[in-house]
Structure 1
Amino acid sequence: MAIKVKKRNFLKKKKIKQIKNELGDYGSLLENKKNVEILEAEPNSFILVDGEPYIIIIDEKAFPTLKAALANAIDGKTVTVDMGAVRFVTNGADIMSPGIVAADEGIEPRDIVLIVDETHHKPLAIGVSLITGEEMVENDSGKAIETKHFVGDEIWNFEL
């Protein structure tokens, strides 16, 4: 499914502040940025920072993109998966507890989390936690994170 652009315009400071608050730990992506635009598209809209798609709106909730995570040092909540899980994560699978080797202690259900690999600590996906960070590491079975965006998906490959 291709991304179809409807319209593009600059955001007001009030709207930028609202999105920053919604992003929580990832709000630093919008700190002191001059050119912040919204690109209204089908099926998901983007927030462009200096022309780059740094934030995507999925189900009316803002998520950082992996391109933003790679381009910026962000202090968001992170979950580390073992190398055996990488193949599944990069194919869009949700993250299961057995593949998680580490997770930030402050992770709560419904938090936006960045999934990185164990060896290189490179971002692989962005998702929403279903359980706490402590439970992710302790559990031997079950789904821990719902994947929203991953390396190689249409969001990753999107270019203006």
Structure 2
Amino acid sequence: MIRIKFKKYFLTLKESRQLIDRAISEIPGMDEVFQRRKISLQVLEVPLRDDVAKVYYLQDTPILIEFPDGRLIPFLTAVEKLKLPIPRVVVDLGAVKPIASGADVMGPGIKDVEGKFNPGDIVAVVDEKIKAVIALGIAQRSSDEAKERGKTIKNIHHAGDALWRAVATEMG
């Protein structure tokens, strides 16, 4: 088995402050997470296709992901752990396995919508049984149209993806 070596390092206080300010302005609830801005975040660089994504840690906890295109989202486990007030769609159990494998969320698989969202917003995808966050995605349409036929959420981070596996590998 080939073991990939990930690059891990700390940001400077200035770099951390800039990233924290950005996270607070772009992601609901991050102002509660980052009450102090004078902290140094740790970065794990993860090869992603032909580029590199970055997972940011706060005190050994993966908290943010920055994709190569610059998009910033919370790390999957951070949504529940930090109780981030991100809108959610609840999917039926038949949709869980495909979504947890990277499939996008289609309207007919949505049982319920919690919170309001618009196209481009970050949305958490939870299963109907235990309400665990199984994926994060970008809304393709508004919460009012979520259950209509077609793609509602573009899946961009799910349990078992490359970023998830990289963090699991780093944590031992």
TM-score under structure 2 length normalisation: 0.80
The aligned length equals: 157
**Partner of residue 143, structure 1:** 151
Q: How does 1:43-82 map to 2 (within 5 A)?
A: 43-58=52-67, 59-82=69-92
* Among candidates 27, 31, 34, match of residue 31 of structure 1: 34
TM-superposed deviation, 1:2: 5.0
**12-21 or 32-41, which moves further after superposition?**
32-41
Counterpart secondary structure, 1:86: helix
Taking the aligned partners of 2:44 and 2:96, their CA distance within structure 1 comes to 31
Aligned amino acid, residue 4 of structure 1 = F
* Among candidates 134, 159, 165, match of residue 157 of structure 1: 165
TM-score under structure 1 length normalisation: 0.86
Identity across the alignment (%): 27
TM-superposed deviation, 1:108: 0.4
**Partner of residue 11, structure 2:** 9
Query: Gapped runs of 5+ residues in structure 2?
Result: none
* RMSD, matched Cα: 2.2
**96-105 or 5-14, which moves further after superposition?**
5-14
TM-superposed deviation, 1:10: 3.7
Taking the aligned partners of 2:5 and 2:99, their CA distance within structure 1 comes to 22
Counterpart secondary structure, 2:164: coil
Counterpart secondary structure, 1:108: coil
Taking the aligned partners of 2:166 and 2:66, their CA distance within structure 1 comes to 14
**Does the C-alpha gap of structure 1 residues 104 and 27 become closer, same or farther in structure 2, counting only changes over 3 Å?**
same
